[in-house]
A = this chain, B = another copy of it.
Amino acid sequence: MFETVTTLLDWLGVVVFAVTGALVASRKQMDIVGFALLGTATGIGGGTLRDVLLGLPVFWIGEPAYLVACVLVSGVVFFTAHIPHSRYRALLWLDAVGMALFAVIGAEKALLAGVNGIVAVAMGVVTATFGGIIRDLLGGEIPVILRREIYVTAALLGAATFVISMAFGVSRELSTGAGFIIALLVRAAALQRGWSLPRYRPRPGQGDN
């Protein structure tokens, strides 16, 4: 029963990220194949790197439905991307949902593979951010980690919440929910209120280069 929920959330994450990839393609006025490529790379990128690092079979190799879903979703965006009032706002919020889902699911898959909790948190962050990094590099946008508002931090907190909660014996359902909500809330606050962490500032009169 819970397996089904995890699988559903995983699918949801892939599809939501595929939409963000296709939205970047629309901002760059690509053709439909560019949409499919950017949508698919964004949807499956994070989970692919996670599986390669963990030494697991890459999740979509044995399951072509993931590729099909990414391509279909990208095609739908090609014909409907003009509908949302602001494509950029839509992209940011969908990306937040995908990030929060993948932070938890990435950490969970890593724990199931038997790794240490710290490595599991790192895998949550990798899964949550790498698809977006590919999207931004290939789409010629500024990579997410260079932007000013909180992003990686939200993924980190969500994955850590999940892993710590599991370590304290909380049920997988509750831990998943808690991690997802923490990641999403922190990112939402960053988007709504411009939350950001203090940045490094060079001291005047010191080595500044």
**Which residues of chain A have a CB within 8 Å of any CB of chain B?**
25-26, 28-35, 37-38, 40, 48, 52-55, 57-58, 60-62, 64, 67-68, 78, 81-90, 115-119, 122, 125, 133, 137-140, 142-143, 145-146, 150, 152-153, 156, 196-203, 206-209
Contacts and interface: CB of A to CB of B under 8 A. Distances in A.
Contacts of A115: 61-62
16 contacts: A25-B200, A26-B202, A29-B200, A29-B202, A31-B150, A31-B197, A32-B198, A34-B152, A38-B145, A48-B53, A61-B115, A64-B119, A83-B206, A87-B207, A139-B146, A140-B143
Copies in the complex: 3
Nearest to A25: B200
B146 A28 contact: yes
Given A33-B153, A138-B145, A152-B37, A68 B118 contact: yes
